[in-house]
């Protein structure tokens, strides 16, 4: 249970985007009349995926040792209407923004053998039938701009920096990322923006921005109001941006309780910076993000440790990229602190946001399945009359957790509408990777498949073809991508054998207007 408590602190849905609120989805469909502008945007996404067999280790005697090959067809339909009024007077802008998901889920698929994953955030156990109660209002807020201040009140997406911790889940095709966002942080927020320094009225003015906000979390990486989690946040940020630099720091304080009245408090400091420059025909970019969080949680209280547990974790990413004509390359390195002892009352494991996508197979599929099975094993009545407190928070839902990784990528654009992408991921545990359930049962540090705890998670090769077409206000993007993973010794079984390769293939069509 060692990394569980820190996961409870990593929702971070209340952080604003660097130097601006979280980005809204593209809205090219607009109607203008007088000083009013009406946005009629939206998007539709459909994704077909084949996931290779996923090895697992269940506590139930005679249970299957793998999730069989699965095939899914998923889709999402989103509308984002909005309106704003602009003038050159004292009040510069008044607006309303919304984002409503009408349907989001599995249309068809093969579901046999997925019951061990029932505690995952998206278990995909059957078809998700469209229902009125499933309509999701992701954004609905009003804004007022009265320079040098602005105010936003209402339901909003939340994002900061590179999205390592707070991520709005917005669809983007302008970076070297595989896969697509599935969640996004949603908060009910009142936020004040203040520009004490604005040096140039250009497309990217030099500006110093301060923000102050209070949130009640709707849902994020682990808090969900629908399951009786109650999370509140206060935050403040300071950020600078100009033509080359974006940099900022935020501080956040969070209090959270669950249905059992277990309380969690967190203090978070996150610093982010991004730099862009052109050297001849080459465009260079560099970005870094570092987050430190400390707090305490009662979510994993046990008879042995009945009090609140101390939490301290560190996460960081560093990325550099270069673009020249039709070529683009990037190298990303990441670190999420780990915890080698899942039995004491100190927690040091750290998780990124699930929508900070790193590869297609290792973190989203294999580790996502292994962590979901941890919860299933913990809930097995053969080993305990009732599961350990907070066991349902063990699934990582694809987030980078307790890991160090290197992730170089390259992209070639042979045609104006075609991108060919490739990537190689190598990852290790920040400390020897332990499975809380098997380690507690055996009394020694064991990995997710029962072998001795080890660090090497494996290597993965990813590739993608991306085709983008425009017709008037409509953009159509088609993606074909796949990943091949060779698991490392961290997944060895009791005999020392590691699983065979795991693969994924998926095709996606995305239409926005």
Rounded Cα distance between 418 and 437, Å, is 46
* Residue range 345-362, pLDDT digits in tens: 788 889 999 999 999 999
Measuring CA to CA, how many Å separate 27 from each of 30, 35, 379, 404, 512? Answer: 7, 18, 45, 37, 8
Instruction: Name, in order, each residue with C-beta under 8 angstroms of 174's C-beta and a sequence gap of 6 or more.
Output: none
Task: Measure CA 35 to chain center.
Answer: 37
Measured CA to CA, the distance from residue 254 to residue 235 in angstroms comes to 9
Q: Tell me what pLDDT residue 303 has.
A: 57
Question: Are 72 and 49 a contacting pair, CB within 8 Å?
Answer: yes
**C-alpha to C-alpha distance for 11 and 265, rounded to whole angstroms:** 12
Q: Which residues contact 116 (CB under 8 A, 6 or more apart)?
A: 56, 58, 63, 64, 67, 369, 372, 373, 376
Q: How far apart are CA 243 and CA 456, in angstroms?
A: 41
Dist CA 410 CA 176 (whole Å): 8
Neighbours of 282 (CB within 10 A): 12
Domain 4-512: CATH architecture, name and number where available: Beta Barrel (2.40)
In this predicted model, which residue has the larger pLDDT, 281 or 18? 281
pLDDT per residue over 464-481, tens digit each? 999 999 988 899 999 999
Sign of the C-alpha dihedral, residues 170, 313, 379, 500? Answer: positive
| pLDDT tens, position by position, 305-315 | 677 889 999 99
Say if residues 253 and 235 touch (Cβ distance below 8 Å). yes
> For residue range 60-98, what is the model confidence (pLDDT) as tens digits?
888 999 999 999 999 999 999 999 999 888 888 999 999
Give residue-wise pLDDT tens across range 116-137. Answer: 999 898 888 889 888 888 899 9
The CA distance from 271 to 249, in Å, is: 4
Highest mean pLDDT of the ranges 85-94, 205-214, 281-290: 281-290
Question: 165-208 pLDDT, tens per residue?
Answer: 999 988 776 678 999 998 899 999 999 999 887 665 555 668 89
Does the pLDDT of residue 253 top 60, yes or no? yes
Count CB-CB contacts under 10 A for residue 293. 22
Work out the number of other CB atoms within 10 angstroms of the CB of residue 392.
Answer: 17
Query: Residue 498 contacts by C-beta under 8 Å, 6 or more apart in sequence?
Result: 487, 488, 489, 491, 492
Three-state DSSP state, 362: helix
What is the full DSSP assignment across 96-124? EEEEEEEEEEEEEE--TT-GGGTTSSS--
3-state DSSP helix/strand/coil % of the chain, to nearest 5? 10, 50, 40
- State phi, psi for 347 to the nearest 5 degrees: -125, 125
Residue 289 has a pLDDT of: 97
For 230, counting Cβ atoms within 10 Å of its Cβ (0-12 exposed, 13-18 middle, 19+ buried), the class is: middle
**Whole-prediction pTM:** 0.89
Quick check: 177 and 184 in contact, CB under 8 A?
A: no
Q: Where are the domains of the chain?
A: 4-512
Q: In angstroms, rounded to a whole number, what is the distance separating the alpha carbons of residues 369 and 114?
A: 10
Distance CA 466, CA 476 (A): 10
Give 22 or 355, the one with higher predicted confidence: 355
Give me the pLDDT at residue 22, please.
Answer: 37
Count CB neighbours of 39 within 10 A. Answer: 22
Cβ partners under 8 Å of residue 132, min gap 6: none
Q: Name the band, by pLDDT with cuts 50, 70 and 90, for residue 152.
A: very high
Higher per-residue pLDDT: 292 or 88 = 292
Please name which of 247, 252, 254 lies closest in space to residue 236, comparing C-alpha atoms.
Answer: 252
Overall average pLDDT of the 19-35 stretch: 56
Is a pLDDT exceeding 50 seen at residue 23? no
- β-pairing, 207-219 vs 93-109, is unpaired
pLDDT value of position 6: 34
Residue 355 phi/psi, 5-degree rounding, is: -85, 0
CB neighbours (10 Å) of residue 48? 18
Buried b (16+ CB within 10 A) or exposed e, 479-490: bebbbbbebbbb
215-229 core/surface letters (b: 16 or more CB in 10 A; e: else):
bbbbbbbbbbeeeeb
């Amino acid at each position: 249970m060692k990394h569980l408590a820190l996961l409870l602190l990593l929702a971070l849905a209340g952080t604003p985007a660097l130097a601006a609120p979280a980005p809204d989805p593209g809205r090219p469909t607009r109607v203008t009349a007088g000083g009013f502008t009406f946005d009629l945007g939206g998007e539709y996404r459909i994704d077909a995926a084949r996931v290779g067999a996923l090895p697992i280790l269940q506590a139930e005697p005679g249970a299957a040792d793998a999730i069989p090959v699965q095939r899914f067809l998923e889709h999402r339909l989103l509308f984002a209407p909005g309106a704003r009024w602009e003038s050159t007077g004292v009040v510069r802008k008044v607006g309303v923004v919304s984002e409503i998901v009408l349907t989001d889920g599995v249309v068809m698929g093969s579901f046999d053998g997925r019951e061990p994953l029932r505690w995952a955030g998206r278990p995909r156990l059957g078809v998700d039938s469209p229902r009125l109660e499933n309509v999701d209002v992701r954004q609905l807020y009003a804004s007022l701009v009265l320079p040098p201040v602005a105010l936003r009140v209402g339901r909003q997406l939340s994002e900061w920096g590179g999205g390592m911790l707070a991520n709005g889940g917005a669809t983007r095709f302008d970076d070297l990322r595989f896969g697509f966002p599935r969640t996004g942080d949603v908060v009910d927020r009142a936020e004040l923006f203040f520009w004490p320094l604005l040096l140039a009225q250009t497309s990217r003015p030099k500006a110093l921005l301060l923000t102050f906000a209070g949130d009640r979390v709707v849902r994020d990486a682990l808090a969900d109001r629908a399951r009786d989690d109650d999370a509140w946040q206060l935050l403040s940020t300071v950020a600078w941006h100009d033509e080359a630099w974006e940099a900022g720091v935020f501080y956040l304080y969070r209090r959270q309780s669950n249905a059992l009245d277990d309380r969690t408090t967190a203090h978070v400091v996150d610093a982010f910076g991004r730099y862009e420059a052109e050297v001849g025909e080459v465009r260079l970019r560099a970005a870094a993000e570092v987050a430190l969080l400390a707090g305490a949680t009662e979510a994993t209280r046990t008879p042995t440790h009945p009090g609140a547990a101390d939490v301290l974790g560190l996460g960081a990413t560093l990325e550099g990229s270069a673009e020249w004509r039709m070529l683009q390359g990037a190298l990303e390195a990441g670190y999420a602190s780990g915890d080698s002892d899942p039995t004491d009352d100190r927690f040091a494991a750290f998780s990124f946001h699930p929508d900070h996508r790193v590869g297609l197979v290792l973190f989203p599929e294999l580790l996502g399945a292994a962590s979901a099975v941890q919860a299933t094993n913990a809930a097995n009545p053969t080993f305990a009359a009732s599961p350990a407190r907070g066991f349902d928070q063990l699934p990582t839902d694809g987030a980078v957790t307790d890991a160090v990784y290197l992730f170089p990528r390259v992209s070639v654009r042979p045609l104006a509408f075609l991108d060919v992408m490739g990537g190689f991921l190598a990852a290790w545990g920040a400390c020897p990777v332990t499975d809380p359930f098997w380690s507690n049962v055996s009394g020694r540090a064991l990995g997710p498949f029962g072998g001795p705890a080890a660090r090497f998670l494996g290597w993965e090769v990813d590739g993608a073809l991306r085709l983008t077409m425009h017709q008037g206000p409509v953009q159509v993007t088609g993606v074909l991508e796949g990943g091949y993973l060779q698991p490392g010794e961290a997944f060895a079984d009791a005999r020392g054998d590691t699983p065979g390769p795991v693969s994924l293939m998926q095709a996606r069509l995305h239409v926005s207007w």
